[in-house]
Amino acid sequence: MEVLAFAAFAILVVSWLIAPSRPPITTVETEERAAA
């Protein structure tokens, strides 16, 4: 059980390292959202 708990947390930490970085929302997109 303890091994599984450590493994679960390790999977999350590794995921944060490889997770994609999406470009920030542009001004145009922000205005479109507001208009919607």
Residues that bind other proteins (CB under 8 A): 1-2, 4-5, 8-9, 12, 15-16, 19-22, 33, 36
Q: Which of 18/27 has CB closer to other proteins?
A: 18
Q: Rounded to whole angstroms, what are the CA distances from 5 to 8, 24, 34?
A: 5, 34, 43
Q: Which is nearer to other proteins, 12 or 27 (CB)?
A: 12
28 to each of 9, 12, 23, 31, 35, how far by Cα in Å?
38, 33, 13, 5, 11
Distance in Å, CB of 8 to other proteins, minimum: 5
